[in-house]
Amino acid sequence: MKVRKFTNYIHIGIGLETARVLALRGVHVVMPVRNIAAGEKAKESIAEKVPNAKLEVMELDVSSQESVRQFASQYCSKGLPLNILILNAGIMSPPFTLSKDNIELQFATNHLGNFLLTNLLLDTMKKTAIESGKEGRIVILSSELHQTTYKEGIMFDKINDEQSYNAMYAYGQSKLANALHAKELTRRLQEEGVNITANSLHPGVINTNLLHHNGFFAIFFKVVQSFLKNIPQGAATTCYVAMHPQLKGVSGEYFADSNLKKASAYAQDPELAKKLWDFSVKLTQAK
Distance of CA 153 to the CA centre of its chain: 19
Name, in order, each residue with C-beta under 8 angstroms of 125's C-beta and a sequence gap of 6 or more.
82, 83, 85, 136, 138, 196
Rounded-to-integer distance, Cα 136 and Cα 110, Å: 22
CATH of the domain at 60: 3.40.50.720
Would you state the pLDDT for residue 283?
A: 98
**Are β-strands 254-256 and 259-260 bridged in parallel, bridged antiparallel, or unpaired?**
antiparallel
CA 12 to CA 209: how far, in whole Å? 7
- pTM reported for the whole predicted model: 0.88
**pLDDT at position 212:** 46
The active-site residue out of 9, 75, 165, 254 is 165
- 199, β-bridge pairs: 139
> Distance from CA of residue 260 to its chain's centroid?
18
The whole-angstrom distance between residue 211's C-alpha and the CA centroid of its chain comes to: 17
The pLDDT, as a whole number, for residue 232 is: 54
Q: Strand ranges (DSSP E) for 15-162?
A: 28-33, 54-59, 84-87, 136-141
> Per the structure, how many domains does the chain have?
1
Q: Is 165 a catalytic residue?
A: yes
DSSP assignment of 189-257, as one string? Answer: HHHHT-SEEEEEEE--SB-SGGGTT-HHHHHHHHHTGGGSBPHHHHHHHHHHHHH-GGGTT--S-EEET
Q: Is residue 50 a contact partner of residue 20, using CB atoms and an 8 Å limit?
A: yes
DSSP state of 94: P
Q: Give pLDDT, residue 90.
A: 86
> DSSP string covering 125-189, please?
HHHHHHHH---EEEEEE--GGGGSSBTTBS-GGGTT-GGG--HHHHHHHHHHHHHHHHHHHHHHH
pLDDT value at residue 225:
43
Q: Which residues pair with 58 in a beta bridge?
A: 32
Please give the Cα distance from 41 to 46 (Å, whole number): 9
Is the distance from CB of 176 to CB of 149 less than 8 angstroms?
yes
Range of the domain at 249: 5-284
Q: Specify the 3-state DSSP secondary structure of 15.
A: helix
Residues 6+ apart with CB under 8 A from 18: 8, 86, 88, 235, 238, 239, 242
User: pLDDT tens for residues 89-109?
Assistant: 889 989 999 999 999 999 999
Task: Report, as ranges of residue numbers, the positions in the chain whose pLDDT lies below 50.
Answer: 1-6, 8-13, 206-208, 210-213, 215-229, 231
Phi, psi of 64, deg, nearest 5: -110, 120
